[in-house]
C-alpha cells in the first residue's frame, strides 16, 4: 500500500483496538490515541457471543481468550419465586457457528490481548495520555487536535474513527446528537468469589423479580451480579456491608458471610447516534450506541462495528471502493443497533422487572413454551447470541 497518513483511532477500548487490528493487518498505518495513561479498566462488560469470537479468531485473539476465559454452554432465565423458567442449551447452535456457547472474560483482559496482536504490525502505533480535542476535515483527510503529554498539537490522518466511549470527543466534535434516554434506576454491581454454580445457577442467569431483579454471570475468578438501585438514595442504603450481605443472601443462602471483592454503581442509557458517519469521520462502539447490559450486547456490538468499519476503510484506501462505502457501514450497523440491540436489551430489562401479575404470568408461560420447543429455543438463541442480527446486517447493500 503506498505511503499515506494513518487512520487515527480515538479510544483504546475493545472497539478501537479491534478496528486498529483489522486496519494494521491489512497494511494500513494506524495511530490509536488513548486519553488514559494505560489501557482503560472497565469492570462491567465481559460476555462474548459466537459472532464476536468468529471475528477475532483470524487474529489469534479468540484462542488466547479461551486460554483465560470461561465457557458458558447454558444459561437461564429464572423467576425469583418460581425458579428456573427456561434453561437454554447453546449446543442448539452447533450447526450455526464453531463457537456454540458464550465466553466470559473481563473486558480489561481482552484489551491487552488486542493490543498485543496490534503490536505485531510495524504500521501500528498507540499514544497514551493523548486525548482528542477536536477535528477538521477536507477532501483529502482529517486534522485531529489532541492534548498530549507534550502539549496540544495537530495530527494529520486519512480517516478518524471515534471509538472513545459514550462521552465521545469525536462525536461531540462532529455535532452528532446522541438520541435516546437514561433509565431512572442505577445498576449496583457486586463481585464475589462465591460459587453460585454449586447452588444450581448456570454461569449466566437472569432473575425476574418486580422488587429486585438481578443479572449474574461467572468470570474466571469471580461472579458478578447486577441489581437495580435508586440513584437518589444515600449510598449507605445499598453500599453498606450489611445491605450488600442481605442482597446476596436473598440470591442464595450462604452459611458464611459473602466475600465481596468489588462494588460500584453506574447509570444506564439507551442511546444511538443520529449518524455514524460524517465525511471521513465515523463512530463505533459506545461512541455510536449504548444500551443496558441485559443480554451482553454492547461490547459485542463494538467489535462488530469495528470489523465492519475497518473493512470499509481498507477498501477505500486500496481504491476498491469509493467514499460511499462508509454509507454502507452506517446502513448495515445503525439499523441493526436500533432494530435488534436496543429492542432486545429493552425487552430483556422489562421482562425481569415486570410488576403486573398477569403480564408476569404471560411471560413465564411464553418462556416455558420456548424452552419446551427446540426450534423455538434455537430461534431465540439465534437472536440472543447476535447471530441473526449480524446476518441481517450483511444482507444490506
Residue 173, CA distances (Å) to 132, 136, 145, 269, 328 in order: 9, 9, 10, 21, 22
Where does 7-71+105-179+269-352 sit in CATH, by number?
3.50.50.60
The whole-model pTM stands at: 0.95
Q: What is the pLDDT of residue 298?
A: 87
Question: Which pLDDT tens digit goes with each residue over 98-145?
Answer: 999 999 999 999 999 999 999 999 999 999 999 999 999 999 999 999
81, pLDDT greater than 80: yes
Question: Which pLDDT tens digit goes with each residue over 206-263?
Answer: 999 999 999 999 999 999 999 999 988 888 888 999 999 999 999 999 999 999 999 9
8 A C-beta contact, residue 202 and residue 76: yes
Residue 376, CA distances (Å) to 54, 227, 245, 372 in order: 24, 29, 38, 8
1, pLDDT greater than 70: no
Q: What is the pLDDT of residue 185?
A: 87
Residue 106, all three cell numbers: 473481563
Question: Which pLDDT tens digit goes with each residue over 327-374?
Answer: 999 999 999 888 877 777 788 888 899 999 999 999 999 999 999 999
DSSP codes of every residue in 132-188? EEEEEE-SS-EEEEEEETTEEEEEEESEEEE-S-TT-HHHHHHT--EEEEEEEEEEE
Q: What is the pLDDT of residue 3?
A: 72
Amino acid at each position: 500500500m503506498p505511503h499515506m497518513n494513518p487512520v487515527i483511532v480515538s479510544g483504546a477500548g475493545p472497539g478501537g483496538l479491534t478496528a486498529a487490528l483489522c486496519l494494521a493487518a491489512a497494511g494500513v498505518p494506524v495511530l490509536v490515541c488513548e486519553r488514559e495513561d494505560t489501557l482503560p479498566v472497565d469492570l462491567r462488560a465481559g460476555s462474548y457471543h459466537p459472532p464476536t469470537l468468529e471475528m477475532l479468531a483470524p487474529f489469534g485473539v479468540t484462542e488466547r481468550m479461551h486460554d483465560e476465559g470461561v465457557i458458558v454452554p447454558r444459561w437461564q432465565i429464572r423467576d425469583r419465586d418460581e425458579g428456573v423458567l427456561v434453561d437454554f442449551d447453546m449446543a442448539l447452535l452447533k450447526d450455526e457457528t464453531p463457537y456454540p456457547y458464550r465466553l466470559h472474560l473481563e473486558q480489561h483482559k481482552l484489551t491487552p490481548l488486542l493490543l498485543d496482536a496490534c503490536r505485531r504490525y510495524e504500521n501500528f502505533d498507540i499514544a497514551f495520555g493523548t486525548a482528542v480535542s477536536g477535528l477538521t476535515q477536507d477532501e483529502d483527510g482529517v486534522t485531529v487536535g489532541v492534548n498530549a503529554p507534550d502539549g496540544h498539537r495537530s495530527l494529520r490522518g486519512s480517516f478518524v474513527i471515534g471509538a472513545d466511549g459514550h462521552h465521545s470527543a469525536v462525536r461531540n466534535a462532529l455535532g452528532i446528537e446522541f438520541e435516546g434516554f437514561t433509565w431512572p434506576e442505577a445498576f449496583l454491581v457486586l463481585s464475589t468469589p462465591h460459587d453460585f454454580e454449586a447452588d444450581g445457577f448456570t454461569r449466566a442467569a437472569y432473575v425476574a423479580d418486580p422488587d429486585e431483579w438481578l443479572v449474574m454471570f461467572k468470570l474466571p475468578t469471580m461472579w458478578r451480579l447486577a441489581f437495580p438501585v435508586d440513584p437518589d438514595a444515600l449510598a449507605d442504603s445499598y453500599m453498606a456491608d450489611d445491605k450488600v450481605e442481605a442482597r446476596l443472601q436473598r440470591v442464595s443462602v450462604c452459611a458464611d458471610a459473602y466475600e465481596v471483592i468489588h462494588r460500584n454503581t453506574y447509570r444506564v442509557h439507551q442511546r444511538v447516534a443520529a449518524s455514524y458517519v460524517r465525511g471521513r469521520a465515523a463512530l463505533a462502539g459506545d461512541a455510536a450506541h449504548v444500551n443496558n447490559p441485559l443480554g451482553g450486547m454492547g461490547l459485542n456490538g463494538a467489535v462488530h462495528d469495528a470489523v465492519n468499519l475497518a473493512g470499509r476503510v481498507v477498501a477505500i484506501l486500496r481504491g476498491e471502493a469509493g467514499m460511499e462505502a462508509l454509507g454502507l457501514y452506517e446502513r448495515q450497523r445503525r439499523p441493526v443497533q436500533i432494530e435488534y440491540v436496543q429492542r432486545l436489551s429493552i425487552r430483556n430489562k422489562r421482562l425481569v422487572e415486570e410488576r403486573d401479575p398477569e403480564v408476569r404470568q404471560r411471560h413465564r408461560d411464553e418462556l416455558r413454551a420456548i424452552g419446551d420447543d427446540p426450534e423455538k429455543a434455537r430461534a431465540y438463541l439465534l437472536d440472543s447470541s447476535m447471530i441473526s442480527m449480524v446476518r441481517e446486517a450483511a444482507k444490506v447493500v
